[in-house]
Amino acid sequence: MQKITREQTHVITLHPRSGCSAGAIRGGHSVDTSMGKTPLEGLVMGTRSGDLDPAIIDLIASKEGLSTHDVESLLNTQSGLMGISGLTNDMKFLGQELREHDDRRVRLAIEVFCYRARKYVGAYLASMGGADAVVFTGGIGEHSADIRSRICAGLEWAGLTIDATLNQQAVGRECRISSEGSRLQAWVIPTNEELLIARDTVRCVLGEPHP
């Protein structure tokens, strides 16, 4: 079997948690990320709105009699899953509420959350001309089989199909969750930010270039 090198590997990362991000990585190098100058841009998050029409800020400020600073605070701390559901930013709790009560706002919050993530996957597939895998990490990405399944639903056109059994087994551990033969694979890989920070620190101290 021919060994695949780092330079030949292209992946899309999804880091869904209270603060969410997506990344496009070509040949081991990040070429795009969902977050902008601040974490507010991008995916729907626990309390952050993610992408929105810039004119919304002035509209809310005028309608509610708020300053632009107040609106920015609202978009950062009272929006996202919290704002849509009207309950909480805790995805585990929202999942329980949906199963037990089928609350329409909870259902909408989860659907919007997953739709936005899937939309970014599609955009990065287009911008990179395809990818080898979608990688889930972060709190929700590592522990919620339901959210992973919802995000991947509809990506069959890109060659991604989820193995339901593998997906259910992948809780907090590294595991492939795509079905055998999927052209686009899906993996769960637990995050290890401390290790990455330590490695980058050593490279900086030794003056080594980033790989």
For the chain, the structural domain boundaries read 6-206
CB 105 within 8 A of CB 133: no
Spacing of C-alpha 55 from chain mean position: 25
Looking at residue 1, its pLDDT comes to 47
Largest CA distance in the chain: 65
Q: Which of 184, 183, 148 is nearest to 166 (CA)?
A: 148
Phi/psi for 209 (5° steps) reads -70, 150
Phi/psi for 86 (5° steps) reads 75, 10
Q: Virtual CA dihedral for 117, 139, 210, 200, nearest 10 degrees? A: 150
Strands (DSSP E) along the chain, which ranges?
A: 10-15, 21-26, 29-33, 133-136, 175-176, 185-188
Looking at residue 191, its pLDDT comes to 87
DSSP state, 178? Answer: B
CB 120 within 8 A of CB 85: no
Residue count (the chain): 211
Given CA atoms 39, 177, 130, 147 in this order, what sign does their dihedral have?
negative
Strands (DSSP E) along 34-145, which ranges?
A: 133-136
Each residue's pLDDT expressed in tens, for the chain with a length of 211 residues: 456 677 778 999 999 888 899 999 999 899 999 999 999 999 999 999 999 999 999 999 999 999 999 999 999 999 999 999 999 999 999 999 999 999 999 999 999 999 999 999 999 999 999 999 999 999 999 999 999 999 999 999 999 999 999 999 998 889 999 999 899 999 999 988 788 789 888 888 888 776 6
Q: Which of 132, 169, 152 is nearest to 26 (CA)?
A: 132
Helix 68-77 to helix 55-64 angle (10° resolution) is 110
Looking at residue 64, its pLDDT comes to 93
Q: Which of 37, 41, 79, 87 is nearest to 60 (CA)?
A: 79
Topology of 6-206 in CATH? Nucleotidyltransferase; domain 5 (3.30.420)
